[in-house]
Structure 1
Amino acid sequence: MWRSRNITTLILVVILGLASTPIVKGMRFDLKTGATKCITEDIKINAMTVGKYSVVKRVEGFSLPESDRVSVRVTSPLGNNYHYADRRDSGNFAFTAGEAGDYMACFWTAKQSPEKTLSIDFEWKSGLAAKDWSKVAKKGQVEMMELELKKLYDSVTTVHEEMYNLREREETMQHLIRSTNSKMATFSFFSLVVCLSVAALQLWHLKSFFQRKKLI
């Protein structure tokens, strides 16, 4: 009995640990002056997304020169502008996605001579990872276990929505496959009719030719 209760507790702790682990798209990339680099993120409709970026300073304690600052634009799959910043050394953005699909964050700098390479730290969170759980806990004055259960509930909801989206995509693919098979069957039938018609026409032409030559 004690061992069974121990195992149940261990499983609960593992599940809560997995639920509380944030899924963050954090990176550092290089950007040459005069060039543009774009990063995409697949975001669902009505999902919250937050991001922050900063140019890595070559020497700590000194501000970046104007020429080493970057411009940033975040656009939706349909090209709508969700964030724009011109010549910044750091910044952040947050919005709720009005469309589903690949959102694009593009970074660029002015051309310099000689050419430089800037390093940029970029972090992009969306969905469950974009929620600020510390504010939720502070605002509601909830205990730790209740907060973890809220995270677990959101994780289960996210998984359920993902499974629903996958099912919709599967149905769409099946419909496309059935439609393609139907079109291929129709095309094959007409191709067979055309081939048989051409063969019959050739036989008729050869028969007429041989009759005119009195070979048959």
Structure 2
Amino acid sequence: MGRGITQMTLLLLLCFTALFYVLPLAEAVWLTIPTSGAKCVSEEIQTNVVVLADYYVITGHDPHHHTVSVKVTSPYGNSLHHNENATQGQFAFTTVESGSYVACFEMEGKPQEEASVSLEWKTGISAKDWESVAKKEKIEGVELELRKLEGAVGAIHGYLIYLKDKEAKMREISERTNGRVAWFSIMSLSVCILVSVLQVWYLKRFFQKKKLI
């Protein structure tokens, strides 16, 4: 009996470990910044999520030759980070709005060639400093991994709730739109019937005045 429980515990631990390593730890992207205009990247994030990002500029010949202007905005257009004349930098914030968060990069001056920006974007559990947590709570090894798994499960649960709420809002909007379309169709049909009746009535009076009927 005890051996069966131990095997089941190990199996559950392996499943959770696999689930944890399947989760994306960070999103690293390379952006090619054109000589004119901005290049933007966005990510849809729910509320109360920690976001941490590092970026640096690389050009074809001289990594310090070009500078960029960086601006990060929330779904409602609030500025969360703004940096000019930058070759590298970092931004961090906790989301208070759910939706698409946008980071835009634009080259400054009059560059003759394109530049590349490396952006490492971390959200949620991947942005947490587990080394500090381990030192503060004096945990290590299996206990630390279990804390990471607990955080991963919490993040998944929060994301599922976010998707559920989003689906409910989308369904409400869809039902409201369908109702408006139905009323518009009824009104359009009513107007068509009324116009047809008025046309028949007008033509009947016209022919009666002309003594054609």
Bin the TM-score by the shorter chain. Answer: 0.7 to 0.9
1:56 touches 1:120 (CA, 8 Å); kept in 2? yes
Map of 1:29 onto structure 2 = 31
Q: Distance in 2 between matches of 1:107 and 1:196?
A: 57
Q: CA shift at 1:200, angstroms?
A: 1.6
Q: Counterpart amino acid of 1:180?
A: T
CA distance 1:120–1:187, shift in 2 (3 Å): closer
Report which stretch shifted further, 134-143 or 43-52.
134-143
- Separation in structure 2 between the aligned mates of residue 135 and residue 17 of structure 1, nearest angstrom: 24
| Paired residues of 2:27 and 2:120 also in contact (CA < 8 A) | yes
Q: Does 1:94 align with 2:101?
A: no
Question: Aligned equivalents of 2:140 and 2:39: distance in 1?
Answer: 43
Q: For the residues of structure 1 that align with 2:209 and 2:106, how far apart are their CA atoms?
A: 79
Mapped contact 1:35–1:111 kept (Cα < 8 A): no
1:83 aligns with 81
Partner of 2:102: 104
Deviation digits for residues 29-53 of structure 1 (CA, Å, limit 9, x no counterpart): 2223444212112222221110001
- d(CA) in 2 for partners of 1:71, 1:189: 53
One-letter code of the match for 1:26?
A
Instruction: Report the number of matched residues.
Output: 211
Residues 74-114 of structure 1: CA deviation (Å, up to 9, x unaligned) = 2222332222222232221212123222222222222336x
Percent identical: 39
Cα distance in 2 for partners of 1:10, 1:166 equals: 29
Decide whether aligned partners of structure 1 residues 140 and 22 sit closer, same or farther in structure 2, where only a CA change above 3 A counts: farther
CA distance in 1, matches of 2:98, 2:127: 16
Structure 2 Cα separation of the partners of residues 119 and 202 of structure 1: 68
Contact 1:30 1:119 in 2 (8 A): yes
SS at match of 1:215: coil
Q: Contact 1:49 / 1:130 at 8 angstroms: preserved in 2?
A: yes
Unaligned runs of 5+ in 1: none
Q: Distance in 2 between matches of 1:189 and 1:210?
A: 32
Shift in CA distance, 56/15, structure 1 to aligned 2, threshold 3 Å: same
TM, length-normalised to structure 2? 0.83
The aligned runs of 1:129-168 (5 Å cut-off) are: 129-168=126-165
Question: What is the match of residue 20 of structure 2?
Answer: 19
Q: Which blocks of at least 5 consecutive residues in structure 2 are unaligned?
A: none
- Paired residues for 1:36-55 under 5 Å: 36-55=38-57
The DSSP-based 3-state class of the residue aligned with 2:109 is coil
Q: Secondary structure at the match of 1:50?
A: strand
Matched letter for residue 154 of structure 1: G
> What SS class does the counterpart of residue 56 from structure 1 fall into?
strand
Task: Name whichever of 81-90 and 119-128 sits farther off.
Answer: 81-90
Residue from 67, 70, 89 that aligns with 2:68: 70
| Preserved CA contact (<8 Å) 1:33 1:111 | no
**Aligned counterparts of 1:57 and 1:203: Cα–Cα separation in 2:** 76
Coordinate RMSD, CA, aligned: 2.6
